[in-house]
Amino acid sequence: MDTVEIINQNLKEKLSAEHVDIIDESHLHRGHKAAGGGGHYSIVVVSPQFENVNTMERIRLVHKALDVEMTGTPKLIHALQVKTYDVSQWAEKG
């Protein structure tokens, strides 16, 4: 399973995510010496668990769901750009 599939599976299982978009932006950071392994990803996560939860706590929930991928060996994620929506916010966005 590749990293994008792992991210998708973890977010759906751990956050009951109804929608996940993942863009692998690692190619934009080739040669980035500080990376130390792991890719760069931009994600959108829609979850009912985000209802009445502020933005910082939502991001903490996402980071917790992906903790092993961000801190484990091998490190799969070096950088993560996160956008979160609850179900009603996502529906309004259309």
Note the pLDDT tens digit of each residue in 8-65. Answer: 999 999 999 999 999 999 887 666 665 567 899 999 999 999 999 999 999 999 999 9
| CATH number of the domain to which 52 belongs | 3.30.300.90
The parent domain of residue 12 ranges over: 3-93
Calpha distance 92→73 (Å, rounded): 39
- Percent of the chain as helix, strand, coil, to the nearest 5: 50, 25, 25
What are the backbone angles phi and psi of residue 29, rounded to the nearest 5°?
Answer: -125, 20
pTM, full prediction? 0.90
Tokens of 48: 């009912």
What's the total number of domains in the chain?
1
